Structure 1
Amino acid sequence: MHKHDPIRQISFIQQALSQNRKPIGFFLGAGCPLSIRVNEREEGGKIVTDPLIWDVAGLTKVIAEQLSSNAVDNPSIWDKLVKIVTDDGGDGGNIELLLSRIRVFASVAGAGDVRGLTAAELIALDTNVCDVISKEVRRELPAKDSPYHNLAIWSRSIRRERPVHLFTTNYDLLMEQALEESSAPYFDGFIGARKAFFDLGAVEDEGLLPPRWTRLWKIHGSLNWRLEGKTDVVRSDEKTDKQSYLIYPSHLKYDQSRKMPYLAMLDRLKAFLLAPSSLLFICGYSFADEHINDVICRSLEANPTAHVFAFVHGELETERYKLACQCALASPNLSLLGFDKAIIGRTAGDWSGDGADDLVLPPSILVKDGDKVTVRLGDFAALGALLRGLSGNGTSDDPA
């Protein structure tokens, strides 16, 4: 089997992250908050911790615990919805799929019902689900040395010719907290202070803003985005009864959804990947969203000068990363790096242990056990340690 050289790959990644001329972006998925552990305690003689924020599967379990009746003869609206989705062959453990289905059903129910559920029941379920999500995801970073802070400080550590772009599917406000606590200016598509409004024109003309401003694009919405009335999108920490949460794309009519930030955020990802020599680093994303995968893979196909490094957590050849492997095997400019294996240049291979001691790195990034080498950049904490090491190294005048 082919062997990939981890030193060569990490050295190239370090060099790419240290220069200031190419467009550089990060894509943070639901796995990133899992790297921050809280609530340390002893259970059964072992020290255990919880993630700061659960991933999609964990969040779905929390919602189920609160909204399920746990009674076969008297199921709750949540139970009925989950059964409908699973009976249809869908994933009943994915809250984003469930929320999407709730909204599709509600939009067509009208004065009647859909699959035995009324519009009023579905709208109430939507509100209850979003309330639980808001409570569970509304967390703060416990310390200022988190991987989010390392990314924020790295983003402002050198004088840039091109702004750093941060894309995320997460609803939480962890990246905003880290950027603000690190005095790193950013633009997220909203203008104002009291009730910041979404400005599509400013988003489309973001290239006119200073390059030292990081761009933050929240593809699936945010805890502090609100839909006020039927058309006004605002960003506010306060929520009134006249507002609804804007988390995860609602399946609205095309003319309505054009007014929403979601399509504009996906447009930013596409525009970034179509820029000459752009570099995107993905962490905490398992490639489970085929809509986003399509944007990434089609953009890479159209722009061979772009390159994506996708770091995944754990072993590569598992069912969880099946879609990620398909993308990497079809795209020569998408490098997929797991703990044990990698797909680079459409070629799958194990990590080689040769020369693994030749590069001075934080111990969390490259772990050697005999002949076996583990590359742990798919752990956001390890990626943060790499960025921390690069933050004080100044710029490299990359001629490319």
Structure 2
Amino acid sequence: MMPEQVQQHIRAQGQILKTRDDPAPIFIRYDATTTEPSKAFKVSPDTPCSWAKADETFGPEKLRPRIEPWLTALVQSEHLSLLLGSGLTHAIHGLATEAELPGMTAVKFDVLSAEITEDAKRVATMAGRNSGNFEDQIRAANELLRGLEIVASTKAGDSHEQEQVEGLRKDLKSALASFANSILKAERSLAATATVKREEAFNYLVSFLMSFASRSGTRDRLNLFTTNYDRYIEAGADVAGLRLIDRFVGTLAPLFRASRLDIDLHYNPPGIRGEPRYLEGVARFTKLHGSVDWVDVERTIRRIGLPFGAEDAAPYLNAPGLNGADAMRFMIYPNAAKDRETASHPYVELFRDFAAGICRPNSTLVCYGYSFGDDHINRVIEDMLTIPSAHLVIIAYGDPLGRIMRTYEKLRRHAQITLLLGDHLGNLAILVEHYLPKPAIDRTTFRMAELLKARWGTQQAQHDTVSEAVPDGGGSVS
């Protein structure tokens, strides 16, 4: 299919599946002639498929054997990474509140607004988006502010250039404060929803996270990456009892360290000699675009005690040690304090972790809710797939701008890519209920399988022996 046809297919509630030995994506559509969930789908007529006939109707019971065992095998790769985009936040928020999560809407600048808007639109067009969003505007405004500061450095204090610098800085501060509060509002709407709905949403989130974090004791830790600024993942990890290891060190005001401390926890299983195993319930955590509770203070990055879903972030910046920090100090990508030697800190360290985490042999990267709109992330993923044993799994509710399928075609590593796209295959609740691995892949699972196989095999063998011994007339064996 052409890119336009793919987008139309997904908008019409179509699904795209590519797993196991599928040489190309399988396009699946809803069968409008039936209301039975077990016969909800058909393979599109123009799609060659080895496991379903063109006129055959089927449901999750046929898709599950194609998906669940395959994902179970992939998540037990030697190295496993999970990249979560805004789709996860939208899914959890929708499950809890049954309402859409507000997006990053454009903001209005009083100083050089037209120039900022035009540059944001230019960057968005290069990234395959129709219009500039909040991030594009902040990036353009930051670059413009730095240029105006250079121009105004030789001007008088009451000059027009100095006024533009102060005005643009004020606009930026206001925009960042408003954006931080909108993130907190999304957190607050989740925390304040009805208890039953909130617990249901968190149960799905916990099951989703533990499907990947439940690694056997001999496997490397899960590397958990996210582009989100909110703290839905941290809240889910708290509920699940999942310990997240990041670059922050400390208790009262954790400090970001450029030297990554791979602090790890091990245990020695009773009666087993040799090297210790990894302790369960631990994952390495990296927020690639920063967080709403990260603040730049005196050439250090600190995580402040900002409550989940607070009404306003400003009061929590008025604390001893923060030295009058304001919204301009929030470490929300691409915002960066201008008194630093480089505007890339701490993001350069975070992306170094991302590259080191996924660009390894026998590595699997699972992307959920990520639209492939960030070229700096896509380049690292492209490098990862140059390793023949690496594999990429893309799970998404939709592909409204066609970036996922364009990236799939661009990478040209189709044998190393698994696709699950659509409002069924990418639905968080359906994924957890039908297609994701069970949240505990351990020795007990394999022992149970061996026990059942042994029992079934013994019973079958006995049945075969008796059948051979019984005469055709059905008489008893003497």
Match of 1:382 in 2: 430
Equivalent position of 2:421 in the other structure: 338
Helix, strand or coil at the partner of 1:310: strand
CA 1:79 to 1:337, structure 2 compared with 1: closer, same or farther past 3 Å?
same
The separation in 2 between residues aligned to 1:308 and 1:88, in whole angstroms, is: 30
Offset at 1:83?
3.4
Q: How does 1:168-179 map to 2 (within 5 A)?
A: 168-179=226-237
How far apart, in 1, do the equivalents of 2:407 and 2:122 lie? 24
Aligned residue in 2 for 1:29: 85
TM-score (norm 1): 0.72
Question: Once the 2 structures are TM-superposed, how far is the Cα of residue 262 of structure 1 from its aligned partner?
Answer: 1.2
State the alpha-carbon separation in 2 of the partners of residues 154 and 10 from structure 1. 11
Please give the residue correspondences for 1:337-356 in structure 2 after superposition, counting only pairs within 5 Å. 337-339=420-422
Tell me, yes or no, if structure 1 residue 222 matches structure 2 residue 291.
Answer: yes
Partner AA of 2:361 in structure 1: P
Aligned 8 A contact 1:150 1:385 in 2:
no
Aligned residue for 1:222, secondary structure, equals strand
> 1:245 is matched with which residue?
330
Structure-to-structure mapping, 1:1-400, within 5 angstroms? 1-3=47-49, 6=63, 7-17=65-75, 19=76, 22-37=78-93, 49-51=98-100, 53-54=101-102, 58-61=103-106, 64=107, 68=108, 76-77=110-111, 79-85=113-119, 88=122, 90=124, 92-110=131-149, 112=151, 118-138=164-184, 139-140=187-188, 141-142=190-191, 143-146=198-201, 147-154=204-211, 157=214, 159-161=216-218, 162-201=220-259, 203=260, 205-206=261-262, 208=264, 211=278, 212=280, 213-229=282-298, 231-236=299-304, 237=306, 238-240=316-318, 241-243=324-326, 244-250=329-335, 255-257=341-343, 260-301=345-386, 303-314=387-398, 319-321=402-404, 323-330=406-413, 332-339=415-422, 376-385=424-433, 390-392=438-440, 394-395=442-443
**1:367 matched residue in structure 2:** none
Residues 307 and 156 of structure 1, relative CA distance in 2, 3 Å threshold: closer
TM-score by length of 2: 0.61
CA change 1:336–1:82 in 2 (3 A) is: farther
Compared CA separation, residues 160 and 254, structure 1 to 2 (3 A): farther
Identity of aligned pairs, percent? 20
* Distance of aligned partners of 1:331 and 1:126 in 2 relative to their CA distance in 1, 3 Å threshold: farther
CA distances 1:55-112 after superposition (whole Å, capped 9, x unpaired)? xxx2215xx4xxx4xxxxxx83484355332675745432111111111111221164
More helix by share: 2
Write the distance in 1 (CA, Å) between the matches of 2:366 and 2:50. 19
User: What's the secondary structure of 1:60's corresponding residue?
Assistant: coil
Query: Is the contact between residue 102 and residue 126 of structure 1 (CA under 8 Å) also seen in structure 2?
Result: yes
Kept in 1, the 8 Å contact 2:229–2:292? The answer is yes
Within 2, Cα distance between the matches of 1:198 and 1:164?
21
Give the secondary structure class of the aligned counterpart of 2:105.
Answer: helix
| Alpha-carbon distance in 2 for matches of 1:89, 1:191 | 36
Cα offset, 1:37, TM superposition: 4.2
Stretches of structure 1 lacking an aligned partner (at least 5 in a row) = 42-48, 69-74, 340-373
Q: Which letter maps to 1:200?
A: A
Structure 1 or 2, whichever has the larger Rg, is: 2
- Alpha-carbon distance in 1 for matches of 2:144, 2:136: 12
Shift of 1:208: 5.0
Question: 1:331 offset after TM fit, Å?
Answer: 5.4
Distance in 2 between residues matched to 1:129 and 1:392, nearest whole Å: 44
Which runs of 5 or more residues in structure 2 are unaligned? 1-46, 52-62, 126-130, 153-160, 192-197, 267-277, 307-315, 319-323, 447-478
CA contact (8 A) 2:385 2:413 kept: no
